[in-house]
Amino acid sequence: MIKDFKQKVLCAAAQYKMLEGVNTVTVALSGGADSMSLLYFLKTNAKELGITVNAAHLNHCLRGEEALRDESFVKEQCKKIGVELFVRRVDIALLAKQRRIGQEECGRSERYAFFEQLRRENPGSVTATAHTASDNAETLLLNITRGCGLSGLCGIPPVRDGIIRPLISVTRSEIEEYCRENGIQFVTDSTNLHDNYSRNRIRLNVVPQLKEINPSAEAAINRLSALARSDAELISDLCDKELKRCEENGALSAEKLMQCDSGLLPHVLRKYIDKYLDVIPEKKHLDLIFTMLKKGSGAVELERNKFVEVKGGFLIAYEKKGDFTENVPKFTETALTPGKKYTYLGKYVIISEKKRLNLEDKRKINKKLLINAISCGIISCDTIIRTRQSGDRFSPYGRDCTKTVKKLFTEMKIPISERDTRLLIANGSKVLWIEGIGISQDAAVRNDSEAFYEITTGCDDNDEGCSKDSDR
């Protein structure tokens, strides 16, 4: 049994590259059989694995004397086998009430925040949690009851964000036997014995029934999970290729999106939205987005202040907070090159050099042209085209004043959703021109002999969602 246990753990570590580039493993130690067996195994095989082992214990302060017992127990065991232990106490009941979330969610959040802090403080370290094949089977069954998609069938990831799960191929019964054979002591969390939690009901009631149908039910469920992960990885790679093809400065071309395979498109949208908003859209949201793409316009709020919008031939995911729009797909800041066409969210900007002005020609040039004409003398190698940044200042042409761009946008009642997508030309924080507003006083064409650059803006290609009038 010990040989089989070791082989399963080492195979999982190798298959998922859990220890590549790792010098320290911190075991998330509750004191239960799973985490104690993991601690014992890693400490016993540390030299062979080339790692240093320590442990971390979070006391949730939920079970009174029993929680204190668990804390004392892990301290004693770590001292006994020579493992450094980090302990933190958090009043989860109080914190969950303050955050208005469930205690289970709050506890999980605090545990992983604790682990993340330890990883930051110890470069080259990872956290090892004691999730098992049995945990994975229960998770998958729980996800199915909630109507999951492919990602839910993947179950618990063996490796993710600095967390490794070396016991992911080992069942709970195998762990209990390993503890017996090695004389490993552990404590039992009394809450695991009651079916007042969804996971416990699955563990205590559903899994035993499935094992009556198939004694190897856990193994079969875990095979399904492995197959789903393999399919998910393939789909993820295909999504990356589609996103690379469709994405321009953080937004997705609606036209190119509609060229995606209909079966792949939902996965592409999920991955893009998760990237920018940290939200996995529900089916009802995806259905609305499909309608928006076909119509060519529209917006949907996925969660509070988190939006997906189709506008100007592009799909954009962004977050609004107060007077600011966060996570808006950004235009890539770049040096200004005369003659080059810059495209962003279905619009374009071109700056081109024109012949010198003379006094007679001035009468033939309309006001709109002068507002979008920049003196050649002010353009340098440091001049860039970008969107607004904190600290930007602008002196409007014809007005004896200087304002922050933020204040100017507010005064001119520029819609909040547009403020982070207006293009501008600048030297550092000194703004020379703003899309839809025009040039600054410093950038204006001043005398009869001066050459100038003309700025032309409009809609890229034949975008029906954009006005056809260009600013000149």
Which residues face 248 on adjacent strands? 251
pLDDT: which is higher, 403 or 293: 293
- Cα-based torsion angle of the residue sequence 58, 62, 67, 71 in order, rounded to the nearest 10 degrees: 20
Using pLDDT thresholds of 50, 70 and 90, give the confidence band for residue 464: very low
Q: Is 60 inside any structural domain?
A: yes
Domain of residue 254 covers 249-326
Position 366 in a domain? yes
pLDDT-derived band at 468, boundaries 50, 70, 90: very low
Which of these ranges, 7-21, 65-79, 245-259, 354-368, has the smallest mean pLDDT?
354-368
Biggest CA–CA distance in the chain, Å, is 100
Q: What is the mean pLDDT of residues 245-252?
A: 87
| Cα–Cα distance measured from residue 338 to residue 250, given in angstroms and rounded to the nearest whole number | 24
Averaged over 325-344, what is the pLDDT? 77
Q: How many CB atoms lie within 10 A of CB 195?
A: 13
Q: Sorting pLDDT into bands at 50, 70 and 90, what band is 196?
A: low
pLDDT tens, 95-118?
888 888 888 888 888 998 999 999
Using the 3D structure, point to which of 197, 215, 233 is the last residue of a domain. 215
Runs of H (alpha helix) within 169-216: 172-182, 198-201, 207-213
Token duo for residue 408: 């100017």
Identify the DSSP state of 365.
S
Q: Report the CATH number that the domain containing residue 287 is assigned in CATH.
A: 3.30.465.60
Nearest CA among 315, 319, 323 for reference residue 278: 319
Closest CA to 249 of 346, 320, 384, 341: 346
Say whether both 206 and 269 belong to one domain.
Answer: no
Q: Is 93 a domain residue?
A: yes
Same domain as 267, residue 200: no
pLDDT bucket at 16, cuts 50 / 70 / 90: very high
Tokens 């098992």 correspond to: 132
- Could you count the other beta carbons within 10 Å of the beta carbon of residue 103? 14
Share of the chain above pLDDT 90, in %: 48
Amino acid identity, residue 172? R
- Element at 274 (helix H, strand E): helix 265-277
For the residues 204-209, what does the mean pLDDT come to? 93
So what's the pLDDT on residue 463? 44
176: Cα separation from own chain's centroid: 37
Confidence check: pLDDT of 457 > 90: no
Does position 369 have pLDDT exceeding 80, yes or no? no
| pLDDT value of residue 233 | 93
Contact 85, 118 (CB under 8 A): no
Q: Which own/partner contact pairs does 211-219 have at CB distance under 8 Å and 24+ positions apart?
A: 217/137, 218/133, 218/134, 218/137, 218/171, 219/133, 219/171
The C-alpha R_g of the chain, in whole angstroms, comes to 30
Q: Which pLDDT band, with edges at 50, 70 and 90, does 41 fall under?
A: very high
Instruction: Please indicate, yes or no, whether residues 87 and 210 belong to a single structural domain of this protein.
Output: yes
pLDDT above 60 for 358: no
Lowest mean pLDDT among 8-22, 261-275, 454-468: 454-468
Question: By CB neighbour count within 10 A (0-12 exposed, 13-18 middle, 19+ buried), where does 421 fall?
Answer: buried
Same domain, residue pair 81 and 142: yes
317 and 343 both lie in a single domain = no
Contacts of 86 (CB under 8 A, 6+ apart): 26, 54, 55, 56, 57, 114, 118
Q: How confident is the model at residue 363 (pLDDT cuts 50, 70, 90)?
A: very low
Q: 11-15, 321-325, 462-466 — which is least confidently predicted? A: 462-466
How many structural domains is the chain composed of?
A: 3
Say if 280 falls within a structural domain. Answer: yes
Whether the per-residue pLDDT at 46 is higher than 60: the answer is: yes
Domain boundary among the residues 215, 235, 266 is at: 215
Distance CA 154, CA 147 (A): 13
Q: Do residues 189 and 41 both lie within one domain?
A: yes
Question: Among 256-270, 309-323, 408-422, which range has the highest average pLDDT?
Answer: 256-270
**Residue 30 counted as domain residue:** yes
C-alpha 289: how far from its chain's center? 20
- 410 vs 336, more confident: 336
Shared domain check, 352 and 313: no
Quick check: 380 pLDDT over 70?
yes
The answer to whether residue 147 is domain-embedded is yes
Same structural domain, 192 and 254:
no
